[in-house]
Amino acid sequence: MAAAEVPALATERRFAQRLRSSPRRECLEEERLLDGRYRLQRLPGGRVAVPVLEEKLSQLCLPAEMPCELLRIQTVASALGARRVARRGRVMPDGMRTPSVTLLLGQHGWVEHVDNGIRYTFDVTKCMFSAGNITEKLRVASLPCSGEVVVDLYAGIGYFTLPFLVHAGAAFVHACEWNSHAVEALHRSLVLNGVRDRCRIHSGDSRQLRDVADRVNLGLLPSSEEGWPVACRVLKKDAGGVLHIHQNVEARPPHAAVLLAERGSAEAASCAGEARRPAQHRGQEALGARLRPEWRRWAEATAARIQGLLAELHGRPWRCSVLHIEAVKSYAPHVHHLVLDLECRPVPPV
């Protein structure tokens, strides 16, 4: 990596512009942002670094006012005791949450992460790892799934597929995923954890699945609503089962709830009381007065919608009961990542 002396941002932009128009562009590594700009990394002392192949450095022919020196990434790796170095950028809004990670040193981006005794492996340049849903992974690992068939509709790299298999004791998991990089990571993790024979990966279309599941996981944010008809179809039609439905649910800001409470709104008072409780206790109780009203309304509306879908699909009435609402994390101000455990059973004929 080469660093050039640049006294101001305007000069930095001119430097990048010069590189783009340079006949020596082949000297640069094949690394571009979405807008086509070269990746410039600002350094102390008014300098920026641009990725340049070392053997091509002398061919850049930069003007004298832009002196360059070679910064060896190996020095950074040595100081950290690392064999590989990567630079992380923003996750891309492409529907698959593709990471923007550039490998600066090393031959590949495959890493291994141990979480609750489960070994996850994935390529950091192709797949992201979300640490924020650890509480839900722990909860899934504790569910009584012995002997059950589970369908994980949005499996990813195996966030929930692996806890179902390794700790919850599921007999078999159908893992559905359309990102080919995540599919490869999931396959490797299943082998690492010795559970490959109890899982079938459905890459791409999951519509061939029907009438197989005792339990369905719908772990997609901000909403898994598009997958609800599929979840209804894969539930066992004669016995039903449990759906775990993920959703980002917006709640009324606490200050608004307090104002309404002062006007005598019992519902707002409940919401304000919830907002005052310590964060570690929020959402941990079963359904009750301290759950936020918006959460209860969302759960009840979802149950009614699923009940209607099942009745329409099978031509007979079903009963859907809210078992639990789990608050996983705060996703944004006043927006919470919730999971609804919904028990769905066909109503026996009279």
Question: How much is the pLDDT for 132?
Answer: 76
In the three-class reduction of DSSP (H, G, I as helix; E, B as strand; rest coil), residue 308 is classed as helix
In the three-class reduction of DSSP (H, G, I as helix; E, B as strand; rest coil), residue 184 is classed as helix
Which is nearest to 37 in space by CA: 57, 54, 15? 15
Residue 152 has pLDDT above 90, yes or no: yes
Contact 160, 149 (CB under 8 A): no
Which residue intervals of the chain bear CATH 3.40.50.150?
A: 131-253+292-346
Question: How much is the pLDDT for 146?
Answer: 96
Percent of the chain with pLDDT over 90: 48
Tell me the mean pLDDT in the region 280-286.
37
Contact 35, 96 (CB under 8 A): no
Most confident of 52-66, 182-196, 239-253: 182-196
- pLDDT per residue as tens digits for the range 102-138: 777 777 889 899 999 999 999 988 888 878 789 999 9
Radius of gyration of the chain (CA): 26
Q: Which of the pair, 155 or 46, is modelled with greater confidence?
A: 155
Contact 320, 286 (CB under 8 A): no
Identify the band that residue 321 occupies on the pLDDT scale cut at 50, 70 and 90. Answer: very high
CATH of 131-253+292-346, one of 3.20.20.60, 3.30.470.20, 3.40.50.150, 3.80.10.10: 3.40.50.150
- CB count, 10 Å around CB of 254? 16
Cis before 349 (ω within 30): no
Q: How far apart (Å, rounded) are the C-alpha atoms in residues 305 and 349?
A: 22
Alpha helices for the chain (secondary structure H): 9-21, 73-80, 134-141, 161-166, 180-192, 228-234, 254-262, 266-276, 293-314
Question: pTM of the predicted model, to two decimals?
Answer: 0.70
Which is nearest to 151 in space by CA: 98, 227, 64? 227
Q: Which of the pair, 90 or 156, is modelled with greater confidence?
A: 156
Residue 5 has pLDDT above 80, yes or no: no
Question: How much is the pLDDT for 32?
Answer: 37
